[in-house]
Structure 1
Amino acid sequence: MTLHRPPSILLHCTMTLRFKLLVGAATLFAALIGPAHAADPALVRIGVAQQGSGDPPTFGGSPAATAQLQHRVEDALQSEHVKVEWIFFKGAGPAVNEALANKQIDFAYQGDLPSVLGRANGLKTHLLLASNVRAGVYLAVPPDSDIKGVKDLKGKRVGIFRGTNLQLVADNVLKENGLTERDLRVINLDTAAAQAALASKGVDAVFLDYSLFKLQRQGLAKIVYASRDGGLQLTRQAHLLVLEDYEREHAETVQKVVTAVVQAAQWSSDEANRNALFALWAKSGVPPESWQSEYAKQPLKDRNSPLIDPFLVARYQSVADDALRLNLIRQPVSVNGWFEPKYLDQALKSLKLEAYWPRFDASGKPIA
């Protein structure tokens, strides 16, 4: 599993090959979930860039997850007898992109980097609203490890889930500490595999998300770094997007879906619901204690805001620029025209929430 340190050209070829392998696996999965077909007005298919847990599968950590758990989209479309399908992808963002390309889903909840990769490869989508913003990543090691921080990772076996919005934050964290992936022995591991590898000491460290808190409480891991402590430029964003073709044909349905998720965002942002929110998200298999740790000392409004504000737009452009710098994409990607705020604006107006969430400038400072 050891990766040597190739020169930049070989690195680019290696990453390109890995991306193609991910796409190939996603294509196989897409074939399993059914053939591509035109948008069905009686069916809304929402792809989720997570594996999901339970039967039926659920997820947590975002207003989109709240909307699914509270059946808000289903309720909003009930009068039209529209069926809603939530489709979960273990292959995360790359698998979601493949399903979008094959028109096997209409909407998608995913992170910033995968959507940038999709746009760079010609996917025609519109970003409708934010859903889980300013989320960090964590670096964890076995409890008896002598690794105390990021600088100690040189030459170590480190798990990173490539192709996800976690990868780019990890790469920027390494950069701030004078390292790149080439200085490590990187192993591409999804969330479940990374947890198992860390618990069994099959790796020296992993960059991962809130799932690490449970391992730490079990005495199987030690979190030694949180990217959010380094500033908002080291956070990742997620969103709900829609295929342009679907939006063009079903604008009224898009509006109802967006309004339902905004309602879920408002409920998820109410501090009076904090404990109830974490209990709801615990249905995804992540215990309330982990959500409490993830959201400690953070206002719910800051994390669960659906707003398309200057901060969000700037972060997505920065992700696109970083992806080009790291050779994850071959050509520049502009976010101009990618965001479609009219549905969000209408939802905020109809729900009288125009001033509910704080807006942030491009640097992450609140706008008066």
Structure 2
Amino acid sequence: MAPARQSWRPWAIGAAVLALILAAISVQFRGRGDAGGAKTITIAGIAYSYQGGQAYNGLTGVVIRQGWLKDELAKRGVALAFTPVPTAVGAPLINEGFSGKRIDFASYGDFPAIIAVSGGVPLKLVAAVGQGQNSYLIVRNGLPAKSIADLKGKSIALHRGRPWELPFSKLLDANGLKLSDFKIVNINPAATPAALASGNVDAAFLLSDGLLLEQKGVGRIVWSTKEAPADWRMRAELFGRGDFVKGNPELTQLVVDAFVRAAAWSSQEANKGEVIRDASRGSMPEAIIARDYAESGIPWRDRFSPLFSPNIADHYRSVAQYAFDRGLVRSKVDTDALIDDRFVVQALRDLKLEGFWQQPATAGAQS
């Protein structure tokens, strides 16, 4: 069966899951105010089914386990709710939640956030998270391709609109290629292994899933963003709904405080093993998580740094400009208005964490 024909099944499943979750969220939070005097703060996060429950990814999971935010909000008569988001429908669901005012905060990718803001969804980037994640280009077994240029005319699995689409587009541009030079199969990462193993696609562009597929012998990695400028790495940050942030600055400060606390805990070398074990509660083995971290070349402490370096502002300007120039969004995003670093500055001061993280060197020509 041709790749383009089979790709409807994961999308149909994803759409059904999305509809069910949105309906549940709508019922749960019906009657929420726009901002000001909030009685509930809702944070969306990528989560995985694990031992009969939901295991949240990254700093969101640490915030939940630490319990500090829940306790501090309870003192003020404010409830805390977390909305689990399956990775297969992550960014679209989060953008829908922000647009419908069903969620107040979410930690998710740079590219989807730019898409949301360009589409009229008011967001604020209230806390940075580390220095980005690598993406991988993996080729199926039996195909002698050694580079993206060798794949011209071939089929590539790429989940459109997800954060890793941007580094893929930059890879094409750097090689004088364009999307139309390939048969792009728009399927989510969960459906990609079977498509690659069966030969229904020739290659795939993924995050750490690519490392797992190589370990399983499904294919081989021929390129990753570790070979590219640092600015090509996908970033995921803590974003807040603009009107909520404006109407509830004290509550926003508490949320950012909690994520900075979680970042400080995760940044300690003594907690490295636990962080890796927590990250493996999804579908990734610990060995793959550890390899992805190690191959990033980012020092462990800096991986979770919430500091707003000049590099971050440059990165988002680059993402916004690139997305606009390539017609991926209809209007260019004002990233100066998007970034709001005042809450992190205050959190570092209040939590006595000034100097805990070092500002990374300016990317310069790599930006």
TM-score of the two chains, using structure 2 as the length reference: 0.86
Stretch of structure 1 that moved more, 77-86 or 137-146: 77-86
CA distance in 2, matches of 1:207, 1:91: 17
CA distance in 1, matches of 2:260, 2:365: 23
Residue aligned with 1:162, SS: coil
Q: Which residue in 2 is equivalent to 1:77?
A: 73
The aligned runs of 1:263-342 (5 Å cut-off) are 263-296=261-294, 297-342=297-342
Structure 1 residue 237 displacement after superposition: 0.9
Q: Which residue in 2 is equivalent to 1:358?
A: 358
1:232–1:364 Cα contact (<8 Å) kept = no
Identity of aligned residues (%): 29
CA distance in 2, matches of 1:208, 1:263: 30
1:215-260 residue CA offsets vs partner (Å, 9 max, x unmatched): 2222223222111221212211111111122223332221111111
CA distance in 2, matches of 1:207, 1:57: 27
Q: Which residue in 1 is equivalent to 2:41?
A: 44
Residue aligned with 2:200, SS: coil
Structure 1 residue 272 displacement after superposition: 2.6
The aligned runs of 1:214-293 (5 Å cut-off) are 214-293=212-291
The change in CA–CA distance for 1:334 and 1:145 in structure 2 (over 3 A counts) is: same
1:309-344 residue CA offsets vs partner (Å, 9 max, x unmatched): 111111011000010111111122111221111111
Q: Which residue in 2 is equivalent to 1:176?
A: 174
CA distance in 1, matches of 2:61, 2:156: 29
Q: Which residue in 1 is equivalent to 2:190?
A: 192
Q: Which residue in 2 is equivalent to 1:30?
A: 22
Q: Which residue in 2 is equivalent to 1:6?
A: none
Stretch of structure 1 that moved more, 312-321 or 91-100: 91-100
The aligned runs of 1:98-137 (5 Å cut-off) are 98-137=96-135
Structure 1 residue 364 displacement after superposition: 6.0
CA distance in 2, matches of 1:342, 1:23: 37
Q: Which residue in 1 is equivalent to 2:85?
A: 88
CA distance in 2, matches of 1:172, 1:349: 38
Structure 1 residue 185 displacement after superposition: 0.4
The change in CA–CA distance for 1:71 and 1:229 in structure 2 (over 3 A counts) is: farther
The change in CA–CA distance for 1:365 and 1:156 in structure 2 (over 3 A counts) is: closer
Query: Over the residues paired in the alignment, what is the CA RMSD in angstroms?
Result: 2.7
2:172–2:179 Cα contact (<8 Å) kept = yes
2:313–2:336 Cα contact (<8 Å) kept = no
Structure 1 residue 199 displacement after superposition: 3.0
Structure 1 residue 160 displacement after superposition: 0.9
1:254-282 residue CA offsets vs partner (Å, 9 max, x unmatched): 11111111111112222232222101222
CA distance in 2, matches of 1:338, 1:234: 20
1:80-114 residue CA offsets vs partner (Å, 9 max, x unmatched): 46232233143221221111111111111111111
Structure 1 residue 206 displacement after superposition: 0.5
The change in CA–CA distance for 1:75 and 1:131 in structure 2 (over 3 A counts) is: farther
Q: Which residue in 2 is equivalent to 1:63?
A: 59
1:27–1:95 Cα contact (<8 Å) kept = no
TM-score of the two chains, using structure 1 as the length reference: 0.86
Q: Which residue in 1 is equivalent to 2:140?
A: 142
- In the alignment, structure 1 segments of 5+ residues that lack a partner are 4-21
The change in CA–CA distance for 1:234 and 1:31 in structure 2 (over 3 A counts) is: same
The change in CA–CA distance for 1:51 and 1:271 in structure 2 (over 3 A counts) is: closer
CA distance in 1, matches of 2:15, 2:320: 19
Q: Which residue in 2 is equivalent to 1:17?
A: none
The change in CA–CA distance for 1:145 and 1:66 in structure 2 (over 3 A counts) is: farther
Length, aligned pairs only: 347
Residue aligned with 1:284, SS: coil
CA distance in 2, matches of 1:88, 1:146: 37
CA distance in 2, matches of 1:365, 1:345: 27
CA distance in 2, matches of 1:307, 1:275: 23
Stretch of structure 1 that moved more, 86-95 or 102-111: 86-95
Residue aligned with 1:92, SS: helix
Q: Which residue in 2 is equivalent to 1:167?
A: 165
CA distance in 2, matches of 1:271, 1:306: 17
The change in CA–CA distance for 1:179 and 1:190 in structure 2 (over 3 A counts) is: same
Q: Which residue in 1 is equivalent to 2:9?
A: none
CA distance in 2, matches of 1:172, 1:211: 20
